[in-house]
Amino acid sequence: MASGFFALLDDIAALMDDVAVMGKVAGKKTAGLLGDDLAVNAEKASGFMSARELPVLWAITKGSFLNKLIILPAAFLLSGFLPSAITVILIIGGLYLAYEGAEKVHEYLFPHLHKKEKPKLEELSEEEVLSREKEKIKSAILTDFILSVEIVIIALGTVGQEPLLTQILVVTLIAIIATVGVYGIVALIVRMDEFGAKLINLNEEENSFSDKIGRFLVSALPKVIKSLSIIGTIALLLVSGGIFVHNLDFFHGLFENIPGIIVEFLTGLVVGFVVFGLIKLGIIIWKKFKN
């Protein structure tokens, strides 16, 4: 009886060792994508009123956990019974990410397609504010879903030859880290100004060390958010381009002399603008048909 118990402990220890080793491998494989995930979601989670930042971020985090609960079982089932479907899902997700990235580039290049008007202070009811907030949350959760699919699939690919239990434990661990780690860092970023204000008010001395740090954090936040917006757009195009380059045979060996990161970015950009153009054309045709 005792020997069986200790044998079980040995098996559990061996399993944990395997999970730890494969977790490190999967972590390295998905590290770049987790960085992209952070940049994209930090940009998505910004722009809310100070009092609403943490509630909104918590809503997005809960949506991210729900995404993982949907994606993980589906990924294991598809990997076991219909592996070709995973590639199709990745391509569809890549098209969406490329479109979103191209749309942001278009808005940056052509910010004033309409007549310039003096900015007006828009008075919104509480219901309208909450409605807009919900729309941004939905958009953030949808983007998180697509990025989560890519993270889970890449992690699954690194442990594809391992026993099923090891696959489940490793990929689940990566998925949890992706949510807790990414949104934990995002929470720190969006609350920089609040922390800075507390440092400024920490004591009554003028121009103290805490005042300098506080003012630096307050002034740095807009720059951080703006830079994350740019990084997030680049990340969307890189992730989408990587999906196409690594999953479509057409691209294999096509641009061997060009660095991979440039190929992925340009691929995402070109595909994104093609999808963006087709959607705009479809909207125009639909409006004419409707009228």
Q: pLDDT per residue over 83-126, tens digit each?
A: 777 778 778 878 888 888 888 888 888 875 544 555 454 555 66
What is the residue range of 220's domain? 15-290
Does residue 114 lie in a domain region?
Answer: yes
Rounded distance between C-alpha atoms, residue 29 and residue 23, angstroms: 10
How many C-beta neighbours within 10 Å does residue 289 have? 7
Does residue 229 lie in a domain region?
Answer: yes
Helix H or strand E segment including 283: helix 260-290
Q: Which residues of the chain have pLDDT under 70?
A: 1-51, 112-126, 128-129, 157-158, 160-161, 252-253
Rounded distance between C-alpha atoms, residue 251 and residue 256, angstroms: 10
Does residue 33 lie in a domain region?
Answer: yes
> Tokens 């907030």 sit at which residue?
133
- The confidence score (pLDDT) of residue 140 equals 82
How many C-beta neighbours within 10 Å does residue 239 have? 25
Does residue 268 lie in a domain region?
Answer: yes
Contacts of 33 (CB under 8 A, 6+ apart): 147, 150, 151, 154, 239
Rounded distance between C-alpha atoms, residue 100 and residue 199, angstroms: 38
Does residue 171 lie in a domain region?
Answer: yes
Rounded distance between C-alpha atoms, residue 242 and residue 248, angstroms: 10
- Taking a C-beta distance cutoff of 8 angstroms, is the pair 158, 29 a contact? yes
- The confidence score (pLDDT) of residue 11 equals 43
Report field, pTM of the whole predicted structure over 0.75: no
Does residue 19 lie in a domain region?
Answer: yes
- The confidence score (pLDDT) of residue 270 equals 92
Does residue 5 lie in a domain region?
Answer: no
Structural domain total, the chain: 1
Does residue 7 lie in a domain region?
Answer: no
